[in-house]
Amino acid sequence: MVILEEGRRWSVADFRDGHPIDRFAGLYRDGGATVALGRPPVVLPIGRAVGGTTVVNSGTCYRPPTHVQQRWRDDHGLAPADPDALAPYLDDVEETLQVGPVPPSVMGRNGTLLLTGATGKGWTSHPINRNAPDCVGSCQCSIGCPRNAKFGVHLNALPQACDAGARIISHARVTTVLHRDGRATGVAVRRPDGSALEVHADTVVVAAGAAETPALLWRSSLGDHPRVGRNLSLHPALGLAGRFPEPVVAWEGVLQSAAVDELHHEHGILIEATATPPGMGSMVLPGYGRTLVRRLADADHIGVFGAMIADEPSGRVLGRRLGRRLRRPLLRYDLTRRDTDRLVHAMGAMGRLMFAAGAEEVLTALPNAPSVCTVVELDDALASVDPLNLHVAAFHPTGTAAAGSDDQRSPVDECGRLRGTTGVWVTGATVLPSCPEVNPQVSIMALALAIADGIVTAV
Ligand SMILES: Cc1cc2nc3c(=O)[nH]c(=O)nc-3n(C[C@H](O)[C@H](O)[C@H](O)COP(=O)(O)OP(=O)(O)OC[C@H]3O[C@@H](n4cnc5c(N)ncnc54)[C@H](O)[C@@H]3O)c2cc1C
Ligand code: SF4
């Protein structure tokens, strides 16, 4: 088996010694500046490294909610998502990743404040389950863990694959999947020095993420199915900052540490205490010049929460018509009215949690009221919010080559085969039929294991 990865291999020494900005620019596609075009535009960081986005993710591990598994099974005909069928794969993933709850010793005050706010409001909350058994709370997950404590796939699945005989070629961008009349024969690869190579194989598994997979299929003349590139969900997110009377020092402790799920089932809103790595959080502060300098002097008093909403699949990858000439995809995503309302609702909920935890001021990032000091002021600001002023980001694109039993609706069949081909399989975030409604890595990995079992049986 040969694994081809466009990005480079990063070592723990690179994370320990590299400057945060260099790590950020190197670990993400487009230097971290990928955007889904729309109103408002959505900032969409996507990892590019041996180990994929798990190298930069926060380590948060959720099983897909049962109602999501049932929806995938019943509405999309995705048999492996049946809760009984998926359970052993979910167990396997959690065991491999060594998933466990964030202990109080590394939680940090940012997470504690979220839990305190939830207790004050009587809302359900919990320390987050993560795959970082040796975490010391250095808050750098999104730029590579300097302790190798976060168990991304570069530290478990890939070494396991290499032990079983796989080879990894980094700095290897697959330009096309090679095939003869839809029957896989291998892949063509280009490297950054301009050299090219081909790898010949009669089984090819495309796992290039939700943005790149459709583009690769189109470049390969394999993306004829009309739903390739459609059905993009982003699980969009917003952050809110609060100034507290006592120091928070949000960059000490686990980056994503605690969650409030009170509004999750009914409203699709999942709130998580999510800080930024040391020195990288100034964008949450309002103002510029002297005002910003004053704010920065007070930065250790700032707590940061984030909320994600279960969204409708209102986006798509652009570029189908360019086919083989498509060098990189563009994404288009337009928030629906329902999802805009959900984001505004989420802001109100996060603000309430901050005030319940003792915040003196909540920083909304809204131009009409960048700072509010009471729930009434917050509600006033949110009552007239213009969606274009929302600073939306997203970290969980899914669904652009969805798997399912309906050959009209799903470009990939329920076992992971790309329809109309022989020997071309697809997995990763791109096959999820709809937003998983939680941080998706565990769902993605469990379905990938199910697809892998099917491949082994089929070939
Ligand atoms: C900052 C951040 C934090 C996150 N935190 C969490 C979290 O805490 N918990 C969670 O569950 N999820 C989290 N996620 C999301 C999660 O990591 C991703 O959903 C998941 O890794 C996607 O898996 P994937 O295999 O589909 O794609 P990826 O992990 O993105 O892997 C795809 C790989 O394919 C490579 N590739 C693409 N095109 C080509 C090509 N043509 N040739 C060769 N290689 C190519 C890419 O470089 C990339 O390395 C986070 C995401 C981000 C950005
Ligand atoms: S919080 Fe720090 S130590 Fe813990 S996993 Fe993230 S980067 Fe590693």
What is the per-residue pLDDT across 136-155, written as a single tens digit (0 to 9) for each?
Answer: 999 999 999 999 999 999 99
Task: Say yes or no: CB of residue 256 within 6 Å of ligand 1.
Answer: yes
In this predicted model, what pLDDT tens digit does every residue of 72-81 receive, in sequence order?
Answer: 999 999 999 9
In the predicted structure, residue 304 carries a pLDDT above the cut 80: yes
Question: What pLDDT is recorded for position 326?
Answer: 82
The alpha carbon of 100 and the centre of ligand 1 are apart by a number of angstroms equal to: 21
Residue 433 has pLDDT above 80, yes or no: yes
What's the pLDDT at 325? 85
Q: Domain spanning 2-29+43-59+62-98+142-230+398-458 has what CATH number?
A: 3.50.50.60
Angstrom distance (rounded) from CA 98 to CA 399 = 27
Kindly state if the Cβ of 437 falls inside 6 Å of ligand 1.
no
Q: What is the pLDDT of residues 366-390, one digit of tens each?
A: 998 999 999 999 999 999 899 999 9
How far is residue 189's CA from residue 339's CA, in Å, rounded to a whole number? 39
Measured in angstroms, how far is the CA atom of residue 105 from the centroid of ligand 2?
13
12 within ligand 2 shell (Cβ under 6 A): no
Å from CA of 55 to ligand 1 middle: 8
List the catalytic residue out of 76, 179, 301, 396: 396
Does the pLDDT at position 283 exceed 80? no
Residue 339 pLDDT: 97
- Residue with the smallest CA separation from ligand 2 atom 4 is 135
Atom 34 in ligand 1: residue holding the nearest Cα:
208
Whole-number pLDDT of residue 346: 98
Q: Please check the confidence at residue 293 and state whether its pLDDT lies above 90.
A: no
State the chain's mean pLDDT as an integer: 96
Quick one: which of 449, 431, 458, 455 has its CA closest to 89?
Answer: 449
Residue bearing the CA closest to ligand 2, atom 6: 141
Of all residues in the chain, the percent with pLDDT exceeding 90 is 92
Average pLDDT over residues 94-121: 98
How sure is the predictor about 328, in pLDDT bands with cuts at 50, 70 and 90? confident
| pLDDT of residue 88 exceeding 90 | yes
Q: What is the largest CA-CA distance in the chain?
A: 67
135, 148, 155, 251, best to mutate for ligand 2 pocket (most atoms within 8 Å of CB): 135
Between the CA of 47 and the centroid of ligand 1 the distance, in Å, is 5
**Whose alpha carbon is nearest atom 5 of ligand 2?**
150
Q: Which ligand is nearest to the CA of 219?
A: 1
Please list the residues that pair with 378 across neighbouring strands: none
The confidence band for 280, taking pLDDT boundaries of 50, 70 and 90, is confident
Ligand 1 centre distance from Cα of residue 337 (Å): 28
Cα of 109 to ligand 1 centre, how many Å?
28
Binding site membership of 208 for ligand 1 (Cβ less than 6 Å): yes
List Cα–Cα distances, 83 to 88, 122, 277, 431, in angstroms.
9, 30, 36, 17
Which ligand places an atom closest to the C-alpha of 105? 2
Q: Is the CB of 49 under 6 A from ligand 1?
A: yes
At 240, list the tokens.
């809110």
Q: Encode pLDDT of 183-229 as tens digits.
A: 999 999 999 999 999 999 999 999 999 999 999 999 999 999 999 99
3-state secondary structure the chain: CEEECCCECCCHHHHHHCCHHHHHHHHEHHHHCCEEECCCCEECCCECECCHHHHCCCCECCCCCHHHHHHHHHCCCCHHHCHHHHHHHHHHHHHHHCCEECCHHHHHHHHHHHHHHHHHHCCCEEECEECCCCCCCCCCHHHCCCCCCCCCCCCCHHHHHHHCCCEEECCCEEEEEEEECCEEEEEEEECCCCCEEEEECCCEEECCHHHHHHHHHHHCCCCCCCCCCCCEECCCEEEEEEECCCCCCCCCCCCEEEEECCCHHHHCEEEEEECCCCCCCHHHCCCCHHHHHHHHHCHHHEEEEEEEECCCCCEEEECHHHHHHCCCCEEEECCCHHHHHHHHHHHHHHHHHHHHCCCCEEECCCCCCCEECCHHHHHHHHHCCCHHHCCCECCCCECCCCECCCCCCCCECCCCEECCCECEEECCHHHCCCCCCCCCHHHHHHHHHHHHHHHHHHC
Q: Which ligand is nearest to the CA of 255?
A: 2
C-beta atoms surrounding 262 within 10 Å: 19
pLDDT more than 70, % of the chain: 100
For ligand 2, say whether the CB of 141 is within 6 Å of any of its atoms: yes
What is the structure's pLDDT at 169? 98
Residue 297 in this model has a pLDDT that exceeds 90: no
Q: Which of the following CATH numbers is that of domain 102-130+237-310+336-389: 3.30.410, 3.90.550, 2.60.120, 2.50.20?
A: 3.30.410
pLDDT class of 295 with cuts at 50, 70, 90? confident
pTM: 0.97
Q: Which-ligand-closest: CA of 108?
A: 2
Q: What is the per-residue pLDDT for 105?
A: 97
Which ligand 1 atom lies nearest to the CA of residue 59?
A: 8
Q: State if residue 102 touches ligand 2 by the CB under 6 angstroms criterion.
A: no
Tell me the CA distances in angstroms from 15 to 18, 58, 143, 426, one per residue in order.
6, 15, 7, 31
Range 174-181 average pLDDT: 97
* 264 catalytic residue (yes or no): no
Q: Cβ neighbours of residue 337 under 8 Å, at least 6 residues apart?
A: none
328 vs 308, residue with greater confidence: 308
Report how far apart, in Å, the C-alpha atoms of 43 and of each of 19, 39, 123, 236, 287 are: 22, 12, 29, 9, 21
The predicted model gives 290-319 an average pLDDT of 94
pLDDT digits (tens, 9 = 90+) for 232-245: 999 999 999 999 99
CA distance 109 to 103: 12
pLDDT value for 110: 98
- In the chain, domain spans: 2-29+43-59+62-98+142-230+398-458, 102-130+237-310+336-389
The pLDDT-based confidence of 135 (bands split at 50, 70, 90) is: very high
111 lines ligand 2 (CB under 6 A): no
